Amino acid sequence: MKLVTIAVKGIYGRPGSLLPASMARLTPDAAASLAQVEAEIERLGGCFRLSDAYRSSAMQARAHDDYIKGRKHAYSPPAGSSMHEAGRAIDLDLAALIHPPSVPKGSQTLNELTRISHQRRNKRLSDFV
């Protein structure tokens, strides 16, 4: 299946920078789903960033080697056995969603958004009591 280019924030470079072009590709259906998830998180005021999407076989082999040699803590399967190579996998920066110090200035985490949302809902409910 042909891959399409995506424009999504990545963890590399300055806050708000896009994922590098070499990784910014997915299958059309994965890209469409990703866009929906990103839009919803951004609508809630969250920070949506990826650390990886597409990986070539060489990039996947390097990621696996980094895992085997202890330079990378997250498991990366050998080249030829990762959905990243097919453009059907992403690695989401969960810290940007749940760990405030890791979020670029001006962004909020979903934990904060949930708390704020509950506070606003409770305030609106108290207006009727």
3-state secondary structure the chain: CCCEECCCEECCCCCCCECCCCCCEECHHHHHHHHHHHHHHHHCCECCCEEECCCCHHHHHHHHHHHHCCCCCCCCCCCCCCHHHHCCCCEECHHHHHCHHHCCCCCECHHHHHHHHHHHHHHHHHHCC
pTM over 0.85: no
Query: Does residue 85 surpass a pLDDT of 90?
Result: yes
pLDDT level of residue 96 (50, 70, 90 thresholds): confident
Query: Does residue 100 surpass a pLDDT of 50?
Result: no
pLDDT level of residue 97 (50, 70, 90 thresholds): confident
